[in-house]
Amino acid sequence: MKTILVAGGAGYIGSHMVALLLERGYEVVVVDNLCTGHWQAVKAPAKLRVGDVKDQAFLDRVFTEFPIDGVINFAAFSLVGESVGNPLKYYENNVGGAVSMLTAMKNHNVKKIVFSSTAATYGEPEKQPIEETDRTDPINPYGASKLAIEGLLRWCDGAYGIKYAALRYFNAAGSNADVGIGEDHHPETHLIPNVLAAALGKKSLELFGDDYPTPDGTCVRDYIHVRDLVEAHLLALEYLDRGGESGPFNLGSGDGYSVKEIVETARRVTGKEIPAAMKPRRPGDPPTLIASNRKAKEVLGWVPKRGLEEIIADAWAWHQSHPNGYEG
Ligand code: UFG
């Protein structure tokens, strides 16, 4: 495997993937329509082709131009709240994009894909930590669109021999400030970047609900460093290349932290006061999501190395050096 196509490689997680692939000596081709991604996040010598993954002719051109050995597909919409108000947008973009990508792979005889799935495929799990074999029953169209693609991947494996790893992310955070990339979403809905924006005095922090059935009443999540996350993608690609069996893998640390614990840790790491106002619950938030990462550890040999302090410290380094994101 030499040349890897990264769809959505200008986005937050995709750009960290590109940086790791370059570091490990791969040739990298990025396709991205830049609707949420940033061209500045795609570092040389990766090659960027601007276009939409739903555009079959565009994808076929890219697969003809480069000798693609494997695909890592990040390109998708991922705002849970927006997906509830506009399910067609999510199915059209996420499922539609996966259909064209798999069609291009079939047309050009490319047999390996690592796909970004999500903990949102589980909905409201019956137990913690969550295992891959637990029931999947999404409670929003975003999670449902990803689960639909997991189904499509299974069928494409059976029909065309396209091997896949569907990586179910828990809460990705952190940055790779060394190479100048980090999290820059518009709007930003995620907790850690919002906490750090408040530390910089750029916006006021709201915490959504302290009446959940959790130890301190705020939601518990499993935060995973984006650099650990992308390492798992590379291990998954190598695993498929060795003939590994297709399937889903949870990517989380296995540790849960409450919203209040995140704010406390950020206060310690930044040395800032970070005022926070308690607000009502945000619709659609499950109380607790913690991954069992046993399968990714055993099957892929994945070892997440970076804990919560490092996640927040690295995100803080990026936010301090880029207070206005990539435009700043
Ligand atoms: N939160 C706040 N204030 C904020 C932002 C978030 O209190 O300003 C709270 C949320 O209500 C939630 C927790 O912080 O309780 C974490 O929220 P995030 O938005 O950071 O992350 P989510 O767990 O909601 O979302 C993540 C991924 C989604 C994925 C989802 C699956 O980012 O892509 O997990 O449940 F769909």
Among the atoms of ligand 1, which is closest to the Cα of residue 286? Answer: 35
Distance 226 CA to ligand 1 centre (A): 15
Residue nearest to atom 26 of ligand 1 (CA): 171
C-alpha to C-alpha distance for 29 and 51, rounded to whole angstroms: 12
Residue nearest to atom 14 of ligand 1 (CA): 191
pTM over 0.95: yes
Calculate ∠ Cα 75-79-82, nearest 5°.
Answer: 125
C-alpha to C-alpha distance for 317 and 328, rounded to whole angstroms: 14
Which of the listed residues 146, 168, 190 should we mutate to test ligand 1's pocket, taking the one with most ligand atoms within 8 A of CB? 190
- Residue 269 neighbours by CB under 8 Å, 6+ apart: 309, 312, 313, 316
Contact in structure between 251 and 297 (CB atoms under 8 Å): no
Residue nearest to atom 35 of ligand 1 (CA): 120
Answer yes or no: is pLDDT of 1 > 90. no
Among the atoms of ligand 1, which is closest to the Cα of residue 262? Answer: 14
Answer yes or no: is pLDDT of 164 > 90. yes
Residue nearest to atom 4 of ligand 1 (CA): 191
C-alpha to C-alpha distance for 18 and 12, rounded to whole angstroms: 10
Among the atoms of ligand 1, which is closest to the Cα of residue 190? Answer: 20
* Terminal Cα distance for the chain, rounded: 37
Q: How far is CA 117 from CA 27, 95, 310, 316, in A?
A: 24, 12, 24, 26
Distance 79 CA to ligand 1 centre (A): 10
Q: Provide the 10 A C-beta neighbour count for residue 133.
A: 9
Of 3, 2, 1, 34, which is closest to residue 15 (Cα–Cα)? 34
Contact in structure between 224 and 170 (CB atoms under 8 Å): yes
Distance 323 CA to ligand 1 centre (A): 21
Among the atoms of ligand 1, which is closest to the Cα of residue 218? Answer: 15
Contact in structure between 36 and 15 (CB atoms under 8 Å): no
C-alpha to C-alpha distance for 4 and 18, rounded to whole angstroms: 9
Distance of CA 297 to the CA centre of its chain: 18
C-alpha to C-alpha distance for 46 and 104, rounded to whole angstroms: 20
Q: What is the DSSP letter of 246?
A: P
Q: Give per-residue pLDDT as tens, 120-140.
A: 999 999 999 999 999 999 999
| Three-state secondary structure call for residue 204 | coil
Residues touching ligand 1 (Cβ under 6 Å) are 78, 80, 118-120, 142, 171, 189-191, 194, 206-208, 219, 221, 259, 282, 285, 289
Q: If you average pLDDT over every residue of the chain, what do you get?
A: 97
Q: Give per-residue pLDDT as tens, 242-278.
A: 999 999 999 999 999 999 999 999 999 999 999 999 9
Contact in structure between 120 and 284 (CB atoms under 8 Å): no
pLDDT grade for 328, boundaries at 50, 70 and 90: low
C-alpha to C-alpha distance for 283 and 304, rounded to whole angstroms: 30
Q: What is the DSSP letter of 291?
A: B
Among the atoms of ligand 1, which is closest to the Cα of residue 170? Answer: 34
Residue nearest to atom 11 of ligand 1 (CA): 208
Calculate ∠ Cα 297-42-108, nearest 5°.
Answer: 70
Mean pLDDT of 199-203: 95
Q: Provide the 10 A C-beta neighbour count for residue 44.
A: 7
Distance 191 CA to ligand 1 centre (A): 6
Q: Give per-residue pLDDT as tens, 11-29.
A: 999 999 999 999 999 999 9
Distance 127 CA to ligand 1 centre (A): 19
Distance of CA 324 to the CA centre of its chain: 22
| Three-state secondary structure call for residue 250 | strand
Residue 297: both structure tokens together: 């550890």
Residue 84: both structure tokens together: 């509830």
Answer yes or no: is pLDDT of 292 > 80. yes
Distance 80 CA to ligand 1 centre (A): 9
Distance 291 CA to ligand 1 centre (A): 15
Which of the listed residues 149, 208, 251 should we mutate to test ligand 1's pocket, taking the one with most ligand atoms within 8 A of CB? 208
Residues annotated catalytic, as ranges: 142
Contact in structure between 234 and 228 (CB atoms under 8 Å): no
Answer yes or no: is pLDDT of 167 > 80. yes
